[in-house]
Amino acid sequence: MNFTNKTSFGLFIGAWMLVIALGVITITLANENRKLRISQKVTNDREQHLSVVVDRYVDADDNKHAIIKENPVTRKQIKDGTAIPPAYIDSLATALKLAKRDITESTSIIATLKGQLKGTVRQDSAKGKITTFKGPYLEAWHTESDTVLNYKYNARFDIVKYDNKKWFLGKRHYYQDISAKDPDMYIDGVRNYTIAQGFDTRRFGIGLQVGYYYDPVSGSVRPSIGAGLSYNLVTF
């Protein structure tokens, strides 16, 4: 590039410095705004989720599965108390001696155990008649001379979290597959509480842009820098 005099060169350098300064200011403001949004989201706009059972099935080992889909709770649900009760989180924070803002996720599995076990009776010279019930996961026994039922139960839950999209550009959905090893265990539902800790994913943004452009007058490709508006068309 040719310059006719020092004044033109000085104006050119000054213009570039102004563009760079504006870009730095834009980046700083955008970054601070992003931090503020994240801070507000974590402290004031906690993203709670209620899990909905969307499917059930029994696998080859006779284990009962419940597939849970996480659904965002609206502000109205939180306000009118139809979402997760605040007392639930308060009780967790108190029991664990944590501040509520430090809790990132809590999951409660609501299940029912129902079945039948055939008892066997034996006579003990000291305790009298003892009735014993025994299954693959539950063992219980009762002494005729006592009003106490003694039992031992071996419980196991497997929780698998996964996500998928129905098509390439579709929305990503998040699921939990919860199963119990005991076929007599029925999973009624799940209560899940999460706080979003991720970065802002809005489609529109503003910031510093660096690149090249074609100058049709001179027929050359020139570098460019400046502030601009961007739009995130696809999120993977």
187 and 210, same domain (yes or no): no
* Per-residue pLDDT reduced to its tens digit, 154-198: 888 898 988 888 888 888 888 888 888 888 888 887 777 665 444
Mean model confidence pLDDT for the chain: 72
Give the domain extent around 105: 47-194
151 and 57, same domain (yes or no): yes
105 and 129, same domain (yes or no): yes
Report the 10 Å Cβ neighbour count for 17: 10
Alpha-carbon distance of 108 to 80, in angstroms, equals: 21
179 and 160, same domain (yes or no): yes
pLDDT at position 82 is: 60
148 compared with 227, residue with greater pLDDT:
148
Count of helix runs (H) and strand runs (E) in the chain = 3, 12
Task: Region of 226 please: left (phi>0), alpha (psi -120 to 50) or beta.
Answer: left
Report the 10 Å Cβ neighbour count for 177: 15
Residue 189 within any structural domain of the chain: yes
**Number of folded domains in the chain?**
2
HSE on the CB side for 172, CA within 13 Å? 6
Global confidence as pTM: 0.52
Contact 77, 199 (CB under 8 A): no
pLDDT at position 22 is: 63
113 and 159, same domain (yes or no): yes
* Per-residue pLDDT reduced to its tens digit, 85-124: 677 778 888 988 988 777 777 778 888 888 888 889 988 8
73 and 167, same domain (yes or no): yes
